[in-house]
Amino acid sequence: MRLPTLILALTFSALAALPALAQTYKTPKALLKALYSYDTDKSDAEAPSPYSAFFSDHLNELLQADLDNTPEGDVGAVDFDPVISGQDGAASDVRIGQPILLDDKAKVEVQFENGEEVTLFYTLVREHGGWKVDDIANQKGDNPWSLGALLREAQ
């Protein structure tokens, strides 16, 4: 009698946890708003990035390949936090631009303060019933970069 009750309790506990794991974002702005309010301390330590839950399958595959190809103790292709475009600090006064939608893709400009004004350009894709980040780029300054390009170049 106790075993069925235990199984039922575990099943309900697992189902209650699913929405947090399988969070979908119905709009590009909802995704980016959640991304910039996310506490990376709550991320999955086994994931290729603290932001993996927000990233597309393709971007997560690139990140995982970079991890797999980086010798232990070395830094991979990305030695900074692409969401804040730096190694330290935090994004404040986040302003999310109006998304430009084309089928299952979106382009969105995000501006914020992190010691200075930062402008990032996001490429989003719709997959698994919601929006995910497929690339992040900083096209301004002396060293423009794209997260996807940095990861592809390292392979």
Helix (H) or strand (E) holding 103: none
pLDDT of 148 higher than 70 = yes
| 37 CB-contact burial (10 Å; exposed 0-12 / middle 13-18 / buried 19+) | exposed
Q: Is 44 exposed, middle or buried (0-12, 13-18, 19+ CB in 10 A)?
A: exposed
Give me 95's structure tokens: 């302003």
Task: Write down how long the chain is.
Answer: 155
Confidence of residue 75 (pLDDT cuts 50, 70, 90): confident
Extended strands (E) in the chain = 92-96, 100-102, 105-113, 117-127, 130-138, 145-146
User: Tokens for 80?
Assistant: 């900074």
CATH 3.40.50.1000 for the 24-154 domain, yes or no? no
pLDDT in tens, 93-106: 999 999 999 999 99
The answer to whether 66 touches 77, Cβ cutoff 8 Å, is: yes
The rounded Cα 98 to chain-centroid distance in angstroms is: 19
Q: Tell me the whole-structure pTM to 2 decimals.
A: 0.84
Separation between Cα atoms, residue 28 and residue 20, nearest integer Å: 18
Residue 18: which pLDDT band, with cuts at 50, 70 and 90? Answer: very low
pLDDT at 22: 52
What the block records as the tokens of 113 is: 């303060």
pLDDT of residue 82 exceeding 80, the answer is yes
Q: What is the mean pLDDT of the chain?
A: 87
